[in-house]
Amino acid sequence: MFDLIAFDADDTLWHNERLYRMGRERFHQMLAKYKLADTTEAIDERVNQTELQNLKYYGYGVMSFVLSLIEASVELTGGRISATDIEDLLKLSKEMLTDPVELFPGAEEAVTRLSAAYPLMLITKGDLLHQQAKADQSGLRGYFRHVEVVSDKSRATYAAILQRVAVSPSRFLMVGNSLRSDILPVIQLGGWAIHIPAELSWSHEHVDADGAFGDRCFELGHLGDLPGFVDGLAGRRAE
């Protein structure tokens, strides 16, 4: 039924967003000594705005996040941020970049079982070096025939990937936690998608689900259910 099954990586196969939450939390603690008038929410909003404005320069990933934190720290403190605190933000970037990969429960079994029946691909966005390092550290890299690190997950990105590996969208299934990045563009392209919501997701990845996902999109609560569900789908189509 499928010629290729692709997985998103961050917050689909392994923890990621919690690391950014930790980073934001550290940022708040750091700013506490400056006794800003801004509420926690206002600071978060400023960080988020800075991140979004900087996407066109820095793209996605830890370096982009920390460069945005540095920028926001200068603005929020009106230039009072200390060099020591800047140094702490640089340390934060290195901690985040070397944080051990922790797989979600069921990730290894899902990938192992599906790889026995389908060619698998990993499609992830972010820092090239960091995403490749996480794929290596995950212990799962060997199960993926292709690993694609992309700068954005647009419909055009998926179309280009599928063209390169000569797979028709109608024979392609994408599995991921982000409606915006993993599901919607694939459905629009004529592919299949399984949405597995993560407990934590970056607000930027949210979209208003308006029921336009059609009958080639499914939602599962847990990765552990994935292999059986894919088998079921294939069986139903074979009848």
Specify burial of residue 95 (Cβ count, 10 A radius: 0-12, 13-18, 19+). middle
Check residue 112 for interaction with a second copy (CB under 8 A).
Answer: no
Question: Which one of 1, 22, 36, 97 is in contact with a second copy (CB under 8 A)?
Answer: 97
Count of residues in contact with a second copy, rule CB under 8 A: 34
Instruction: Choose, by CB under 8 A, the member of 18, 26, 58, 204 that binds a second copy.
Output: 58
Measured in residues, the chain has a length of 239
Pairing of strands 120-125, 4-7: parallel
Say how many C-beta atoms besides its own lie within 10 A of residue 135's C-beta. Answer: 20
**CA 181 to mean position of chain CA atoms:** 8
**Shortest distance, position 19 Cβ to a second copy, whole Å:** 15
Q: Give the Cα separation of 61 and 127 in Å (integer).
A: 5
Which of residues 205 and 230 has its CB atom nearest to a second copy in the complex? 205
- Please identify, using beta-carbon distances, which residue of 160 and 209 lies nearer to a second copy: 160
Residue with tokens 């990933």: 61
Whichever of 73 and 178 has its CB closer to a second copy, that residue is 73
Asked if 117 touches a second copy (CB under 8 A), the answer is no
| Residue 123 φ then ψ, to 5° | -125, 115
13 binds a second copy (CB under 8 A): no
Find all residues with CB under 8 Å of 67, minimum gap 6, and list them.
54, 58
Q: Are 31 and 47 in contact (CB under 8 A)?
A: no
The answer to the question of residue 135 lying near a second copy (CB under 8 A) is: no
Residue 217 beta carbon to a second copy: minimum distance, rounded to whole angstroms:
28
Contact footprint for a second copy (CB under 8 A): 57-59, 63-64, 66-67, 70-71, 73-74, 77, 79-84, 86-87, 90, 93-94, 97-98, 127-130, 132, 149-152
